[in-house]
Protein backbone atom coordinates (compact mmCIF):
# COMPACT_ATOMS: atom_id res chain seq x y z
CA UNK A 1 0.00 0.00 0.00
CA UNK A 2 1.13 3.52 -0.75
CA UNK A 3 2.60 5.38 2.21
CA UNK A 4 0.16 8.13 1.27
CA UNK A 5 -2.69 5.72 2.01
CA UNK A 6 -1.70 4.44 5.46
CA UNK A 7 -5.36 4.59 6.43
CA UNK A 8 -6.36 1.96 3.85
CA UNK A 9 -6.76 -1.03 6.12
CA UNK A 10 -4.97 0.62 9.04
CA UNK A 11 -6.51 0.17 12.50
CA UNK A 12 -7.87 3.30 14.19
CA UNK A 13 -8.33 3.48 17.98
CA UNK A 14 -10.88 5.98 19.25
CA UNK A 15 -10.13 7.94 22.41
CA UNK A 16 -12.91 9.87 24.15
CA UNK A 17 -10.68 12.40 25.97
CA UNK A 18 -12.84 13.24 28.99
CA UNK A 19 -13.08 9.54 29.83
CA UNK A 20 -9.60 8.24 29.02
CA UNK A 21 -7.07 9.33 31.63
CA UNK A 22 -6.50 12.37 33.80
CA UNK A 23 -2.95 13.53 34.46
CA UNK A 24 -4.28 15.31 37.55
CA UNK A 25 -6.26 12.37 38.95
CA UNK A 26 -9.37 14.50 38.42
CA UNK A 27 -12.88 13.54 37.27
CA UNK A 28 -12.22 14.51 33.64
CA UNK A 29 -9.50 13.15 31.39
CA UNK A 30 -7.10 15.50 29.63
CA UNK A 31 -4.54 15.66 26.83
CA UNK A 32 -1.59 15.12 29.16
CA UNK A 33 -3.34 12.00 30.44
CA UNK A 34 -3.70 10.66 26.90
CA UNK A 35 -0.04 11.42 26.24
CA UNK A 36 0.91 9.33 29.28
CA UNK A 37 -1.03 6.39 27.81
CA UNK A 38 0.24 6.59 24.23
CA UNK A 39 2.75 3.75 24.78
CA UNK A 40 -0.18 1.55 25.86
CA UNK A 41 -2.09 2.46 22.70
CA UNK A 42 0.93 1.83 20.48
CA UNK A 43 1.37 -1.55 22.16
CA UNK A 44 -2.08 -2.64 21.02
CA UNK A 45 -0.88 -2.75 17.43
CA UNK A 46 -3.07 0.04 16.05
CA UNK A 47 -2.00 2.57 13.44
CA UNK A 48 -3.83 5.74 14.43
CA UNK A 49 -5.69 7.47 17.25
CA UNK A 50 -8.96 9.29 16.65
CA UNK A 51 -9.47 11.93 19.32
CA UNK A 52 -13.04 13.00 19.99
CA UNK A 53 -13.35 16.81 20.27
CA UNK A 54 -11.11 18.64 22.72
CA UNK A 55 -11.78 22.12 21.34
CA UNK A 56 -13.13 25.02 23.36
CA UNK A 57 -16.77 24.29 24.13
CA UNK A 58 -19.52 24.95 26.69
CA UNK A 59 -19.89 21.13 26.74
CA UNK A 60 -23.63 21.04 26.15
CA UNK A 61 -23.00 18.00 23.96
CA UNK A 62 -19.62 17.23 25.52
CA UNK A 63 -17.39 18.84 22.94
CA UNK A 64 -19.53 18.36 19.84
CA UNK A 65 -20.65 21.96 20.32
CA UNK A 66 -17.53 23.93 19.41
CA UNK A 67 -17.16 27.58 20.36
CA UNK A 68 -13.58 27.97 19.07
CA UNK A 69 -12.08 25.50 16.59
CA UNK A 70 -8.53 26.78 17.10
CA UNK A 71 -8.21 26.45 20.85
CA UNK A 72 -8.21 23.63 23.39
CA UNK A 73 -10.86 23.63 26.08
CA UNK A 74 -9.22 24.45 29.41
CA UNK A 75 -10.41 21.23 31.05
CA UNK A 76 -8.38 19.26 28.48
CA UNK A 77 -5.26 21.42 28.54
CA UNK A 78 -3.57 23.73 26.06
CA UNK A 79 -2.38 23.84 22.48
CA UNK A 80 1.11 23.07 23.77
CA UNK A 81 -0.29 19.95 25.48
CA UNK A 82 -1.74 18.83 22.18
CA UNK A 83 1.53 19.54 20.40
CA UNK A 84 3.34 17.32 22.92
CA UNK A 85 0.76 14.56 22.41
CA UNK A 86 1.15 14.79 18.64
CA UNK A 87 4.94 14.62 18.83
CA UNK A 88 4.94 11.61 21.14
CA UNK A 89 2.43 9.77 18.97
CA UNK A 90 4.48 10.40 15.85
CA UNK A 91 7.64 9.13 17.56
CA UNK A 92 5.78 5.85 18.16
CA UNK A 93 4.55 5.74 14.54
CA UNK A 94 0.98 6.57 15.49
CA UNK A 95 -1.11 8.92 13.39
CA UNK A 96 -3.46 11.42 15.05
CA UNK A 97 -6.92 12.09 13.64
CA UNK A 98 -8.94 14.90 15.18
CA UNK A 99 -12.73 15.04 15.28
CA UNK A 100 -13.82 18.05 13.24
CA UNK A 101 -17.46 19.05 13.80
CA UNK A 102 -18.34 20.88 10.59
CA UNK A 103 -22.13 20.79 10.31
CA UNK A 104 -22.80 23.04 13.29
CA UNK A 105 -21.15 25.14 15.99
CA UNK A 106 -21.98 26.01 19.55
CA UNK A 107 -24.42 28.85 20.15
CA UNK A 108 -21.48 30.40 22.03
CA UNK A 109 -19.35 30.60 18.88
CA UNK A 110 -18.55 34.19 17.91
CA UNK A 111 -20.05 33.61 14.46
CA UNK A 112 -23.46 32.70 15.85
CA UNK A 113 -23.44 35.47 18.45
CA UNK A 114 -23.07 37.92 15.57
CA UNK A 115 -25.46 36.11 13.23
CA UNK A 116 -28.37 36.12 15.68
CA UNK A 117 -28.31 39.88 16.30
CA UNK A 118 -30.19 40.97 13.17
CA UNK A 119 -30.73 40.20 9.48
CA UNK A 120 -28.13 42.59 8.13
CA UNK A 121 -24.89 41.86 10.01
CA UNK A 122 -21.87 40.36 8.16
CA UNK A 123 -22.62 36.87 9.56
CA UNK A 124 -26.39 37.10 9.09
CA UNK A 125 -26.42 34.34 6.46
CA UNK A 126 -23.80 32.10 8.07
CA UNK A 127 -26.46 29.95 9.75
CA UNK A 128 -29.75 28.52 8.53
CA UNK A 129 -32.45 31.08 9.32
CA UNK A 130 -36.07 31.03 8.16
CA UNK A 131 -39.26 32.97 8.84
CA UNK A 132 -42.09 31.42 10.85
CA UNK A 133 -45.22 30.25 9.13
CA UNK A 134 -48.12 32.72 9.38
CA UNK A 135 -49.33 30.98 12.55
CA UNK A 136 -45.89 31.31 14.16
CA UNK A 137 -45.00 27.63 13.83
CA UNK A 138 -41.63 26.39 12.48
CA UNK A 139 -40.81 26.69 8.77
CA UNK A 140 -41.25 22.97 8.09
CA UNK A 141 -41.55 19.56 9.74
CA UNK A 142 -37.84 18.80 10.18
CA UNK A 143 -36.97 17.10 13.45
CA UNK A 144 -33.94 17.12 15.70
CA UNK A 145 -32.03 13.88 16.21
CA UNK A 146 -32.38 14.55 19.94
CA UNK A 147 -36.15 14.98 19.74
CA UNK A 148 -38.66 17.69 18.92
CA UNK A 149 -38.54 20.29 16.18
CA UNK A 150 -35.21 21.04 14.49
CA UNK A 151 -36.11 24.74 14.63
CA UNK A 152 -35.58 27.22 17.48
CA UNK A 153 -37.12 30.69 17.49
CA UNK A 154 -34.87 33.68 18.12
CA UNK A 155 -36.48 36.88 19.36
CA UNK A 156 -33.72 39.20 18.10
CA UNK A 157 -34.24 38.26 14.46
CA UNK A 158 -37.86 37.16 14.67
CA UNK A 159 -36.80 33.99 12.85
CA UNK A 160 -36.14 30.34 13.48
CA UNK A 161 -32.68 28.81 13.16
CA UNK A 162 -32.00 25.17 12.26
CA UNK A 163 -30.43 22.74 14.72
CA UNK A 164 -30.27 19.10 13.69
CA UNK A 165 -29.09 18.25 17.18
CA UNK A 166 -29.44 20.36 20.36
CA UNK A 167 -30.83 23.93 20.23
CA UNK A 168 -27.39 24.93 21.50
CA UNK A 169 -25.89 23.54 18.25
CA UNK A 170 -27.04 25.83 15.40
CA UNK A 171 -26.43 24.55 11.88
CA UNK A 172 -24.07 26.39 9.56
CA UNK A 173 -25.32 27.46 6.13
CA UNK A 174 -23.11 25.76 3.55
CA UNK A 175 -25.01 27.39 0.70
CA UNK A 176 -22.99 30.47 1.67
CA UNK A 177 -19.50 30.28 0.06
CA UNK A 178 -18.05 32.31 2.94
CA UNK A 179 -19.00 29.52 5.36
CA UNK A 180 -17.33 26.91 3.17
CA UNK A 181 -14.14 28.94 3.01
CA UNK A 182 -14.21 29.65 6.75
CA UNK A 183 -14.57 26.00 7.71
CA UNK A 184 -11.85 24.95 5.30
CA UNK A 185 -9.71 27.52 7.08
CA UNK A 186 -10.39 25.80 10.41
CA UNK A 187 -9.33 22.48 8.87
CA UNK A 188 -6.20 24.07 7.41
CA UNK A 189 -5.21 25.35 10.85
CA UNK A 190 -4.99 21.78 12.17
CA UNK A 191 -3.32 20.41 9.05
CA UNK A 192 -0.65 23.09 9.45
CA UNK A 193 -0.40 22.08 13.11
CA UNK A 194 0.56 18.58 11.97
CA UNK A 195 -2.49 16.34 12.43
CA UNK A 196 -2.74 13.36 10.11
CA UNK A 197 -6.40 13.66 9.26
CA UNK A 198 -9.95 14.23 10.33
CA UNK A 199 -12.95 12.30 11.46
CA UNK A 200 -15.73 14.47 10.04
CA UNK A 201 -18.62 14.42 12.47
CA UNK A 202 -22.13 14.19 10.95
CA UNK A 203 -20.68 15.58 7.73
CA UNK A 204 -23.65 14.56 5.58
CA UNK A 205 -25.73 17.04 7.62
CA UNK A 206 -23.76 20.03 6.31
CA UNK A 207 -26.04 20.95 3.43
CA UNK A 208 -29.82 21.31 3.60
CA UNK A 209 -32.52 21.70 0.97
CA UNK A 210 -32.64 25.41 0.06
CA UNK A 211 -36.41 25.23 -0.50
CA UNK A 212 -36.92 23.85 3.02
CA UNK A 213 -39.35 21.21 1.76
CA UNK A 214 -41.07 18.96 4.30
CA UNK A 215 -39.64 15.49 4.85
CA UNK A 216 -42.07 12.73 3.82
CA UNK A 217 -43.38 10.20 6.37
CA UNK A 218 -41.06 7.28 7.06
CA UNK A 219 -41.80 3.95 5.46
CA UNK A 220 -40.26 0.67 6.53
CA UNK A 221 -37.33 1.30 4.19
CA UNK A 222 -33.89 2.29 5.39
CA UNK A 223 -31.57 1.16 8.12
CA UNK A 224 -32.54 0.19 11.65
CA UNK A 225 -31.22 2.12 14.64
CA UNK A 226 -29.78 0.92 17.92
CA UNK A 227 -32.99 1.91 19.69
CA UNK A 228 -35.53 -0.82 20.38
CA UNK A 229 -38.45 1.61 20.14
CA UNK A 230 -39.67 4.19 17.64
CA UNK A 231 -38.67 7.77 18.40
CA UNK A 232 -40.07 10.71 16.46
CA UNK A 233 -36.92 11.20 14.40
CA UNK A 234 -37.30 7.75 12.86
CA UNK A 235 -40.86 8.57 11.75
CA UNK A 236 -39.58 10.65 8.83
CA UNK A 237 -37.66 9.84 5.70
CA UNK A 238 -34.85 12.41 5.90
CA UNK A 239 -34.93 13.43 2.29
CA UNK A 240 -34.36 17.16 2.58
CA UNK A 241 -32.64 17.95 5.88
CA UNK A 242 -29.35 16.13 5.11
CA UNK A 243 -27.38 14.15 2.51
CA UNK A 244 -28.11 16.67 -0.24
CA UNK A 245 -26.35 16.05 -3.58
CA UNK A 246 -24.57 19.42 -3.52
CA UNK A 247 -22.85 18.44 -0.26
CA UNK A 248 -20.48 16.33 -2.35
CA UNK A 249 -19.04 19.55 -3.75
CA UNK A 250 -17.99 20.47 -0.22
CA UNK A 251 -16.41 17.02 0.19
CA UNK A 252 -14.39 17.72 -2.94
CA UNK A 253 -13.15 20.98 -1.46
CA UNK A 254 -12.07 19.10 1.68
CA UNK A 255 -10.23 16.51 -0.39
CA UNK A 256 -8.53 19.21 -2.48
CA UNK A 257 -7.25 20.77 0.75
CA UNK A 258 -6.06 17.43 2.12
CA UNK A 259 -4.16 16.70 -1.08
CA UNK A 260 -1.98 19.74 -0.42
CA UNK A 261 -0.48 17.85 2.54
CA UNK A 262 1.31 14.48 2.30
CA UNK A 263 -0.16 11.39 3.91
CA UNK A 264 -3.37 13.03 5.16
CA UNK A 265 -6.86 11.50 5.22
CA UNK A 266 -10.48 12.17 6.16
CA UNK A 267 -13.10 9.69 7.30
CA UNK A 268 -16.75 10.68 7.16
CA UNK A 269 -19.27 9.76 9.81
CA UNK A 270 -22.53 8.99 8.02
CA UNK A 271 -25.89 8.89 9.74
CA UNK A 272 -28.63 8.37 7.18
CA UNK A 273 -31.71 6.35 6.32
CA UNK A 274 -29.58 4.61 3.67
CA UNK A 275 -26.23 4.51 5.35
CA UNK A 276 -24.17 2.20 3.19
CA UNK A 277 -25.27 3.94 -0.01
CA UNK A 278 -24.40 7.40 1.30
CA UNK A 279 -21.09 6.20 2.77
CA UNK A 280 -20.15 4.76 -0.61
CA UNK A 281 -21.18 7.96 -2.42
CA UNK A 282 -18.93 10.09 -0.20
CA UNK A 283 -15.89 7.98 -1.09
CA UNK A 284 -16.72 6.79 -4.62
CA UNK A 285 -14.02 8.66 -6.52
CA UNK A 286 -10.47 9.90 -5.81
CA UNK A 287 -11.66 13.51 -5.54
CA UNK A 288 -13.89 12.67 -2.56
CA UNK A 289 -13.07 11.51 0.97
CA UNK A 290 -10.63 8.75 1.88
CA UNK A 291 -13.16 6.54 3.61
CA UNK A 292 -16.45 6.66 5.50
CA UNK A 293 -18.19 4.70 8.17
CA UNK A 294 -21.79 4.61 9.18
CA UNK A 295 -23.89 3.13 11.93
CA UNK A 296 -24.78 0.17 9.72
CA UNK A 297 -22.84 -2.26 11.96
CA UNK A 298 -23.62 -0.35 15.16
CA UNK A 299 -27.35 -1.06 15.25
CA UNK A 300 -29.62 -4.09 15.64
CA UNK A 301 -30.05 -4.06 19.40
CA UNK A 302 -30.91 -7.52 20.72
CA UNK A 303 -29.21 -10.81 20.06
CA UNK A 304 -26.03 -11.32 18.07
CA UNK A 305 -26.74 -10.65 14.38
CA UNK A 306 -26.75 -13.48 11.91
CA UNK A 307 -24.15 -14.04 9.21
CA UNK A 308 -26.38 -12.43 6.58
CA UNK A 309 -26.35 -9.13 8.51
CA UNK A 310 -22.61 -8.72 8.05
CA UNK A 311 -22.51 -10.17 4.56
CA UNK A 312 -25.40 -8.12 3.20
CA UNK A 313 -24.09 -4.88 4.73
CA UNK A 314 -20.64 -5.25 3.19
CA UNK A 315 -21.95 -6.49 -0.14
CA UNK A 316 -24.50 -3.67 -0.32
CA UNK A 317 -21.83 -1.01 0.12
CA UNK A 318 -19.48 -2.81 -2.23
CA UNK A 319 -22.17 -2.93 -4.93
CA UNK A 320 -22.56 0.85 -5.02
CA UNK A 321 -21.06 2.73 -7.98
CA UNK A 322 -17.46 3.86 -7.74
CA UNK A 323 -14.42 2.55 -5.94
CA UNK A 324 -15.28 3.18 -2.30
CA UNK A 325 -13.00 2.07 0.51
CA UNK A 326 -15.18 1.38 3.58
CA UNK A 327 -14.55 1.70 7.28
CA UNK A 328 -16.31 -0.36 9.95
CA UNK A 329 -17.00 -0.10 13.66
CA UNK A 330 -19.14 -2.05 16.10
CA UNK A 331 -18.92 0.46 18.96
CA UNK A 332 -18.19 4.13 19.55
CA UNK A 333 -19.14 6.96 21.92
CA UNK A 334 -22.68 7.21 20.49
CA UNK A 335 -23.96 3.64 20.73
CA UNK A 336 -24.47 0.88 23.27
CA UNK A 337 -21.28 -1.17 23.49
CA UNK A 338 -21.51 -4.10 21.10
CA UNK A 339 -20.94 -6.90 23.67
CA UNK A 340 -24.04 -5.68 25.53
CA UNK A 341 -26.02 -4.53 22.51
CA UNK A 342 -25.78 -7.98 20.98
CA UNK A 343 -25.82 -10.07 24.16
CA UNK A 344 -29.60 -10.10 24.50
CA UNK A 345 -29.41 -8.31 27.85
CA UNK A 346 -29.17 -4.59 28.54
CA UNK A 347 -25.84 -4.56 30.35
CA UNK A 348 -24.52 -8.12 30.09
CA UNK A 349 -21.71 -9.44 27.95
CA UNK A 350 -19.83 -12.58 27.04
CA UNK A 351 -16.04 -12.35 27.05
CA UNK A 352 -15.89 -14.87 24.23
CA UNK A 353 -18.06 -12.59 22.09
CA UNK A 354 -15.84 -9.59 22.91
CA UNK A 355 -12.79 -11.40 21.58
CA UNK A 356 -14.56 -12.65 18.51
CA UNK A 357 -15.79 -9.13 17.66
CA UNK A 358 -12.26 -7.71 17.78
CA UNK A 359 -11.15 -10.35 15.31
CA UNK A 360 -14.21 -9.84 13.10
CA UNK A 361 -13.94 -6.06 12.74
CA UNK A 362 -10.23 -6.51 12.00
CA UNK A 363 -10.86 -9.16 9.36
CA UNK A 364 -13.52 -7.33 7.34
CA UNK A 365 -12.43 -5.52 4.20
CA UNK A 366 -12.01 -1.89 5.17
CA UNK A 367 -10.52 0.28 7.88
CA UNK A 368 -11.43 -1.04 11.36
CA UNK A 369 -12.27 1.38 14.17
CA UNK A 370 -11.91 0.18 17.76
CA UNK A 371 -13.42 2.20 20.58
CA UNK A 372 -11.55 2.56 23.88
CA UNK A 373 -12.46 -0.34 26.16
CA UNK A 374 -13.32 -2.73 23.35
CA UNK A 375 -9.86 -4.24 23.81
CA UNK A 376 -10.95 -5.02 27.39
CA UNK A 377 -14.34 -6.40 26.44
CA UNK A 378 -16.16 -3.76 28.48
CA UNK A 379 -19.95 -4.11 28.63
CA UNK A 380 -22.35 -1.18 28.68
CA UNK A 381 -22.52 0.53 32.06
CA UNK A 382 -25.83 1.01 33.84
CA UNK A 383 -26.03 4.69 34.82
CA UNK A 384 -28.62 5.67 37.46
CA UNK A 385 -30.92 8.54 36.50
CA UNK A 386 -29.36 11.03 38.92
CA UNK A 387 -25.94 10.44 37.30
CA UNK A 388 -27.06 10.79 33.67
CA UNK A 389 -25.26 13.62 31.86
CA UNK A 390 -26.22 12.97 28.22
CA UNK A 391 -29.04 15.33 27.16
CA UNK A 392 -30.33 12.65 24.80
CA UNK A 393 -30.56 10.22 27.73
CA UNK A 394 -32.43 12.73 29.85
CA UNK A 395 -34.89 13.26 27.00
CA UNK A 396 -35.55 9.56 26.36
CA UNK A 397 -35.41 8.27 29.95
CA UNK A 398 -36.62 5.70 30.95
CA UNK A 399 -37.01 4.29 27.44
CA UNK A 400 -33.27 4.74 26.94
CA UNK A 401 -30.58 6.14 29.20
CA UNK A 402 -28.60 7.67 26.39
CA UNK A 403 -24.93 7.40 25.58
CA UNK A 404 -23.36 7.70 29.03
CA UNK A 405 -23.20 3.92 29.43
CA UNK A 406 -20.49 3.69 26.77
CA UNK A 407 -18.65 6.83 27.91
CA UNK A 408 -17.63 5.90 31.44
CA UNK A 409 -13.98 6.40 32.47
CA UNK A 410 -11.44 3.89 31.18
CA UNK A 411 -10.59 1.38 33.95
CA UNK A 412 -6.82 1.31 34.26
CA UNK A 413 -6.77 -0.74 37.46
CA UNK A 414 -9.10 -2.15 40.10
CA UNK A 415 -8.95 1.12 42.04
CA UNK A 416 -9.97 3.39 39.17
CA UNK A 417 -12.14 6.04 40.84
CA UNK A 418 -15.45 7.37 39.60
CA UNK A 419 -15.02 10.34 37.32
CA UNK A 420 -17.51 12.60 35.60
CA UNK A 421 -19.47 9.34 35.26
CA UNK A 422 -19.39 6.38 37.66
CA UNK A 423 -17.16 3.37 36.96
CA UNK A 424 -18.97 0.03 37.36
CA UNK A 425 -17.27 -2.58 39.54
CA UNK A 426 -17.44 -4.98 36.61
CA UNK A 427 -15.29 -2.57 34.57
CA UNK A 428 -12.71 -2.49 37.35
CA UNK A 429 -12.60 -6.29 37.28
CA UNK A 430 -11.84 -6.02 33.55
CA UNK A 431 -9.24 -3.28 33.94
CA UNK A 432 -6.00 -2.98 32.01
CA UNK A 433 -3.96 -3.97 35.08
CA UNK A 434 -6.06 -7.10 35.61
CA UNK A 435 -5.83 -8.29 31.99
CA UNK A 436 -2.28 -7.18 31.22
CA UNK A 437 -0.13 -10.28 30.72
CA UNK A 438 -3.06 -12.57 31.51
CA UNK A 439 -3.00 -15.31 28.88
CA UNK A 440 -6.39 -15.68 27.22
CA UNK A 441 -7.65 -12.24 28.30
CA UNK A 442 -9.43 -10.01 25.80
CA UNK A 443 -6.60 -7.47 26.05
CA UNK A 444 -3.88 -10.01 25.26
CA UNK A 445 -5.94 -11.51 22.46
CA UNK A 446 -6.40 -8.03 20.96
CA UNK A 447 -2.66 -7.41 21.02
CA UNK A 448 -1.93 -10.83 19.53
CA UNK A 449 -4.43 -10.45 16.74
CA UNK A 450 -3.61 -6.87 15.74
CA UNK A 451 0.15 -7.50 15.68
CA UNK A 452 -0.39 -10.64 13.59
CA UNK A 453 -2.76 -8.77 11.30
CA UNK A 454 0.03 -6.34 10.44
CA UNK A 455 1.98 -9.24 8.91
CA UNK A 456 -0.93 -10.25 6.66
CA UNK A 457 -1.36 -7.90 3.68
CA UNK A 458 -4.42 -9.86 2.57
CA UNK A 459 -6.22 -8.78 5.76
CA UNK A 460 -5.18 -5.17 5.29
CA UNK A 461 -6.01 -4.40 1.67
CA UNK A 462 -7.08 -7.72 0.15
CA UNK A 463 -10.37 -8.56 -1.52
CA UNK A 464 -13.17 -10.25 0.37
CA UNK A 465 -15.34 -13.11 -0.81
CA UNK A 466 -18.14 -14.53 1.29
CA UNK A 467 -19.04 -18.21 1.35
CA UNK A 468 -22.15 -20.12 2.37
CA UNK A 469 -21.56 -22.01 5.61
CA UNK A 470 -24.93 -23.75 5.49
CA UNK A 471 -26.03 -21.97 8.66
CA UNK A 472 -26.76 -18.36 9.59
CA UNK A 473 -24.80 -18.92 12.78
CA UNK A 474 -21.42 -19.11 11.05
CA UNK A 475 -19.89 -16.33 8.97
CA UNK A 476 -17.37 -17.49 6.39
CA UNK A 477 -15.25 -15.46 3.99
CA UNK A 478 -11.82 -15.32 2.45
CA UNK A 479 -9.45 -12.36 2.14
CA UNK A 480 -7.00 -12.57 -0.74
CA UNK A 481 -4.16 -10.54 -2.21
CA UNK A 482 -1.43 -11.42 -4.71
CA UNK A 483 -2.16 -15.12 -4.57
CA UNK A 484 -2.26 -15.33 -0.77
CA UNK A 485 -5.61 -16.34 0.67
CA UNK A 486 -6.75 -16.28 4.30
CA UNK A 487 -9.87 -18.21 5.24
CA UNK A 488 -11.89 -16.81 8.14
CA UNK A 489 -14.63 -18.50 10.14
CA UNK A 490 -16.71 -16.96 12.93
CA UNK A 491 -19.15 -18.74 15.19
CA UNK A 492 -21.68 -16.03 16.06
CA UNK A 493 -23.33 -18.03 18.83
CA UNK A 494 -22.66 -19.22 22.38
CA UNK A 495 -23.07 -22.85 21.26
CA UNK A 496 -20.83 -25.42 19.63
CA UNK A 497 -21.48 -25.27 15.89
CA UNK A 498 -20.67 -27.72 13.13
CA UNK A 499 -20.61 -26.32 9.60
CA UNK A 500 -19.28 -28.71 7.00
CA UNK A 501 -15.77 -29.69 8.04
CA UNK A 502 -15.68 -26.95 10.66
CA UNK A 503 -16.33 -27.68 14.31
CA UNK A 504 -16.38 -24.29 16.04
CA UNK A 505 -16.49 -23.59 19.74
CA UNK A 506 -18.81 -20.85 21.10
CA UNK A 507 -17.99 -17.38 19.73
CA UNK A 508 -14.87 -18.75 18.10
CA UNK A 509 -12.82 -16.78 15.59
CA UNK A 510 -10.60 -19.02 13.51
CA UNK A 511 -8.11 -17.99 10.85
CA UNK A 512 -6.19 -20.22 8.51
CA UNK A 513 -3.22 -18.68 6.76
CA UNK A 514 -1.14 -21.26 4.92
CA UNK A 515 -3.09 -23.96 6.79
CA UNK A 516 -2.08 -22.62 10.20
CA UNK A 517 -4.64 -21.65 12.83
CA UNK A 518 -3.49 -18.49 14.56
CA UNK A 519 -5.74 -18.52 17.61
CA UNK A 520 -9.19 -19.24 18.93
CA UNK A 521 -11.11 -17.07 21.35
CA UNK A 522 -13.17 -19.79 22.95
CA UNK A 523 -11.98 -19.27 26.52
CA UNK A 524 -13.72 -16.64 28.62
% of the chain with per-residue pLDDT over 70: 95
Res 513: pLDDT: 66
8 A C-beta contact, residue 360 and residue 352: no
Mean pLDDT in residue range 309-325: 94
Mean pLDDT in residue range 162-166: 98
Res 524: pLDDT: 36
Q: Cβ atoms within 10 A of the Cβ of 345, count?
A: 13
pLDDT greater at residue 303 or residue 173? 173
- Give the residue numbers spanning the domain of 331: 3-104+177-208+242-378+420-453
| Any domain includes 163 | no
Both 472 and 436 in one domain: the answer is no
Number of domains the chain contains: 2
Both 357 and 474 in one domain: the answer is no
Catalytic one among 30, 269, 350, 374?
Answer: 269
Mean pLDDT in residue range 452-476: 95
Both 498 and 362 in one domain: the answer is no
Both 288 and 370 in one domain: the answer is yes
Res 500: pLDDT: 86
In the structure, what pLDDT confidence band is assigned to residue 396 with cuts at 50, 70 and 90?
Answer: confident
Res 501: pLDDT: 87
Both 513 and 424 in one domain: the answer is no
Instruction: Count Cα neighbours of 403 within 13 Å in the Cβ-side half-sphere.
Output: 15
Beta strands 95-101; 48-51: pairing state: parallel
Least confident of 10-19, 105-114, 223-232, 431-440: 223-232
Least confident of 165-179, 218-232, 376-390: 218-232
Q: What phi, psi does 51 have (nearest 5°)?
A: -100, 120
H-only helix segments in 387-507: 391-396, 425-429, 432-435, 442-453, 457-461
pLDDT at 518 over 80: no
Least confident of 14-23, 472-481, 498-507: 498-507
pLDDT at 72 over 90: yes
Domain of 497: which CATH number?
2.60.40.1180
Q: Does the annotation mark 269 as catalytic?
A: yes
Distance CA 396, CA 146 (A): 9
In the structure, what pLDDT confidence band is assigned to residue 114 with cuts at 50, 70 and 90?
Answer: very high
Q: What phi, psi does 240 have (nearest 5°)?
A: -120, -15
Both 359 and 486 in one domain: the answer is no
Separation of first and last alpha carbons in the chain: 36
3-state secondary structure of 97: strand
Find all residues with CB under 8 Å of 53, minimum gap 6, and list them.
17, 63, 64, 66, 98, 99, 101, 201
| Any domain includes 468 | yes
Identify the burial level of 80 via C-beta atoms within 10 angstroms of its C-beta, where 0-12 means exposed, 13-18 middle and 19 or more buried: exposed
Distance CA 326, CA 7 (A): 11
Preceding peptide of 398 cis, ω within 30°: yes
Q: Cβ atoms within 10 A of the Cβ of 286, count?
A: 10
pLDDT at 436 over 50: yes
Let me know how long the chain is: 524
Both 487 and 366 in one domain: the answer is no
Mean pLDDT in residue range 374-378: 97
| Any domain includes 479 | yes
Model's pTM, two decimal places? 0.96
pLDDT at 253 over 80: yes
Both 507 and 426 in one domain: the answer is no
Catalytic one among 30, 65, 73, 201?
Answer: 201
In the structure, what pLDDT confidence band is assigned to residue 184 with cuts at 50, 70 and 90?
Answer: very high
8 A C-beta contact, residue 183 and residue 85: no
| Any domain includes 267 | yes
Nearest CA-CA partner of 509 in 296, 351, 348, 315: 351
Amino acid sequence: MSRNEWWRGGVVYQVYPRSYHSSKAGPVGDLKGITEKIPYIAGLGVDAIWLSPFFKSPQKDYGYDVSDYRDVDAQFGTLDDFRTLLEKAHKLNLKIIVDLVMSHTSEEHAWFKESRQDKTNPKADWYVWADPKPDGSPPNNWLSVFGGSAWQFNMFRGQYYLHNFLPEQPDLNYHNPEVVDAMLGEAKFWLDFGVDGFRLDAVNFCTHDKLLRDNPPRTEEGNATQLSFKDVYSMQWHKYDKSQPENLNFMRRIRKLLDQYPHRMAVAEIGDDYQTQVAAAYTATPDLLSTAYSFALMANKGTMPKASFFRETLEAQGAEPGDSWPAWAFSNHDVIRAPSRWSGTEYGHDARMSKMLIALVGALRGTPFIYQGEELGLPEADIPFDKICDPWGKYLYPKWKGRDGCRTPMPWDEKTPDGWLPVPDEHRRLSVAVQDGQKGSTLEMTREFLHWRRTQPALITGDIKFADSGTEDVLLFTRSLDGVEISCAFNLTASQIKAGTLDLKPFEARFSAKNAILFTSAKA
